[in-house]
């Protein structure tokens, strides 16, 4: 294994796979294509596809909550790019805290959480109180967990809209992910100021994927541009950190 490693989660198809393709061309190190399971168009089945265009990723089936897995990898890794596409439904501090373990291990890394344009438009549809709480620069992980659990509980009862939430679990999950990125970046600045880790959230745009459909204006390769840009921020860069970006530009949050 190289001492420089890029791990792309959820990279069995769509934007994740396009990100792997780009990193195989641009990143000087090992690129891990990871998925939670294998099958047609997943996991190892993708390797021949990438080999056919002279790219050589490593594939791995991982559970992102498996802290032991990351520790075993971390023993030989000095630089990590971590491209993460998650939908956040935190039910406890332990659930939400597990998402920062990677950044606790690796110095000089880049962590990119793939959010969505829905998080900004969705937040504007929430009540003023919820907007204020999510935008509070001092919001804690515990408060975010409480908000996420509140949404889940109220959505189960069909009461979430009257309680001030936007409609759609996906949208709320991406709001949570973006806020979590801000929280973790703030933590890294405070707890590991000399480790050179940059953590950001980004919107890939409206991309032709299974979820977004065939009429979306961007190809998966175009959707991968901003995640790859953030992953390859040069050594010594100080910014962006704790930001939300689209089209490689910091966006108001």
Q: Output the DSSP codes for 141-168.
A: HHHHHHHHHHHHHHHHTT-TTTTTPPS-
Instruction: Give residue limits of the domains in the chain.
Output: 4-115+181-247
What are the tens digits of pLDDT across the range 195-207? 899 999 999 988 8
In the predicted model, is pLDDT for residue 38 greater than 90?
no
Among 195, 170, 237, residue whose Cα is nearest residue 107:
195
Task: Exactly one of 32, 67, 82, 170 is catalytic; name it.
Answer: 170
Listed in order, strand segments (DSSP E) in 115-227 are 198-203
Kindly indicate the confidence band of residue 101, based on its pLDDT and cuts at 50, 70 and 90.
very low
Q: What is the DSSP letter of 207?
A: B
What are the tens digits of pLDDT across the range 102-146? 444 467 888 899 999 999 999 999 999 999 999 999 999 999 999
* DSSP-assigned beta bridge partners for residue 81: 6, 110
Gyration radius (Cα) of the chain, Å: 18
Instruction: Based on the residue annotation, tell me whether 170 is a catalytic residue of this protein.
Output: yes
Q: What is the pLDDT of residue 175?
A: 95
Looking at domain 4-115+181-247, its CATH class is alpha beta
Q: What is the pLDDT of residue 154?
A: 93
What is the rounded average pLDDT of the residues 185-192?
92
> For the chain, what is the mean pLDDT?
77
Q: What is the pLDDT of residue 28?
A: 85
**How many Å apart are CA 50 and CA 21, to the nearest integer?**
7
In the predicted model, is pLDDT for residue 219 greater than 90?
yes
What are the tens digits of pLDDT across the range 233-246? 998 999 999 999 99
């Amino acid at each position: 294994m190289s001492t420089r490693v890029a791990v792309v989660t959820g990279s069995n198809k769509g934007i994740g796979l396009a990100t792997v393709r780009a990193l195989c061309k641009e990143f000087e190190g090992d690129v891990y294509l990871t998925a939670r399971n294998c099958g047609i168009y997943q996991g190892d089945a993708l390797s021949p596809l990438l080999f056919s265009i002279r790219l050589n990723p490593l594939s791995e089936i991982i559970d992102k909550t498996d802290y032991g897995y990351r520790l075993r990898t971390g023993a030989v890794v000095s630089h990590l790019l971590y491209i993460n596409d998650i939908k956040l439904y935190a039910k406890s501090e332990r659930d939400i805290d597990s998402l920062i373990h990677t950044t606790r291990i690796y110095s000089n890394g880049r962590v990119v959480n793939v959010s969505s344009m829905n998080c900004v438009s969705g937040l504007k549809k929430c009540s003023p109180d919820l907007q204020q709480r999510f935008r509070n620069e001092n919001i804690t992980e515990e408060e975010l967990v409480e908000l996420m659990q509140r949404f889940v509980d109220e959505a189960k009862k069909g009461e979430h809209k009257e309680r001030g939430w936007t409609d759609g679990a996906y949208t709320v999950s991406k709001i949570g992910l973006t806020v979590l990125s801000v929280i973790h970046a703030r933590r890294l600045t405070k707890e590991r100021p000399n480790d050179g880790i940059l953590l950001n959230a980004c919107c890939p745009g409206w991309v032709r994927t299974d979820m977004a459909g065939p009429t979306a204006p961007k190809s998966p390769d175009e959707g991968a541009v901003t995640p790859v840009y953030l992953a390859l921020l040069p050594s010594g860069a100080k910014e962006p950190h704790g930001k939300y970006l689209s089209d490689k530009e910091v966006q108001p949050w």
